[in-house]
């Protein structure tokens, strides 16, 4: 089976505006992503410590990786302070397979990002080592860590982001995306007669669907009082207390 190499480019010294460190957030996403990939039958994803982006492709070649995914975030430049970014999906413009992978990641991330239209492909000639990678290689910059909405999304929605990335990666290899909690389901039981499926795990987040009492959800993973679940091919967060598991 294919071997997927995951690496964090998070910085221990870089803080989000909500106090979390970049390295802790990116590692949390990568750990959850690795769980999904393992459950889906892909070879163990190697979660490296911080590896400079100019060297990570060489590591991928040495390990004979079939895919390389580098994860991090950015600080807003002074002229864009306070602006929301969304996500940049970076690849070397000379690498056609990397662009194809980036396009798959774009479709998945846009489904969970707070501003789907802000998720963009970004050909990056300044990633020279990525051109040398024998496998598709993509760097994800999930958002501006000094923008409140970006920071909250990256911190609170680690599982949702990981699941979106896992769906793109498994589609790339032509295998089903399987949850680490495969086979678990729940039925909606709420006094209001329906339950909101939201984009992020908080009550003000965008509502993706209204799910009626008695409907069955596929459970993907838990995040505190919220449950990340799937209903009719739509994934999002519901309050766990309204589920009969």
pLDDT at 197: 93
Give the pLDDT of the chain (245 residues) as one tens digit per residue. 789 999 887 666 666 666 677 778 888 889 889 999 999 999 876 666 556 666 788 888 888 999 999 888 877 665 555 555 678 899 999 899 999 999 999 999 988 887 778 888 989 887 767 888 899 999 998 887 777 777 777 877 888 899 999 999 999 999 999 888 766 889 999 998 999 998 888 888 888 899 999 999 988 888 788 998 989 888 889 999 999 97
In CATH terms, 3-173 corresponds, of 1.20.140.10, 3.40.50.720, 3.40.630.40, 3.40.50.300, to 3.40.630.40
Going by C-beta distance under 8 Å and a sequence separation of 6 or more, which residues neighbour residue 150?
73, 84, 85, 86, 114, 142, 143, 144
Residue carrying the six token digits 């409140």? 148
Q: Tell me: domain 185-244, CATH 3.90.850.10, correct?
A: no
Helix (H, G, I), strand (E, B) or coil at 187: strand
What pTM, to 2 d.p., does this model score? Answer: 0.83
Label the pairing between strands 87-91 and 216-223. Answer: unpaired
pLDDT at 149: 76
Strand residues in the chain grouped as ranges (E): 3-8, 43-48, 67-74, 87-91, 119-123, 137-144, 185-188, 194-198, 207-212, 216-223, 226-231, 234-239, 243-244
CB 219 within 8 A of CB 227: yes
Give the Cα separation of 4 and 195 in Å (integer): 37
Show the DSSP H helices in the chain as ranges: 22-39, 53-62, 96-110, 128-131, 148-156, 158-173
pLDDT at 165: 95
The domain spans of the chain are 3-173, 185-244
Give the Cα separation of 87 and 110 in Å (integer): 9
pLDDT at 22: 77
Residue carrying the six token digits 């009082």? 225
pLDDT at 51: 62
């Amino acid at each position: 089976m294919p071997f997927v190499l995951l690496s964090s480019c998070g910085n221990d010294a870089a803080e989000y505006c909500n106090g979390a460190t970049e390295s802790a957030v990116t590692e949390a996403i990568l750990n959850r992503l690795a769980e999904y990939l393992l459950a889906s039958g892909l070879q163990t994803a190697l979660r490296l410590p911080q590896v400079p982006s100019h060297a990570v492709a060489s590591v991928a070649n040495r390990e004979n990786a079939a895919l390389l995914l580098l994860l991090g975030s950015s600080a807003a430049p002074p002229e864009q302070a306070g602006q929301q970014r969304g996500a940049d999906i970076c690849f070397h413009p000379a690498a056609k397979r990397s662009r194809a992978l980036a396009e798959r990641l774009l479709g998945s991330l846009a489904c969970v990002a707070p501003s789907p239209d802000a998720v963009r492909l970004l050909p990056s000639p300044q990633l020279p080592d990525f051109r040398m990678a024998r496998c598709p290689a993509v760097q994800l910059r999930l958002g501006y860590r000094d923008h409140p909405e970006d920071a909250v999304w990256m911190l609170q929605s680690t599982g949702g982001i990981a699941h979106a990335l896992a769906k793109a990666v498994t589609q790339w290899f032509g295998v089903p995306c399987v949850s680490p909690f495969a086979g678990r389901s729940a039925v909606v039981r709420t006094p209001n007669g329906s339950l909101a499926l939201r984009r992020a795990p908080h009550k003000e987040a965008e509502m993706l669907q209204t799910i009626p009492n008695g409907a069955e959800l596929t459970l993907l993973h838990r995040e505190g009082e919220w449950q990340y679940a799937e209903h009719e091919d739509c994934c999002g967060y519901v309050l766990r207390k309204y589920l009969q598991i």
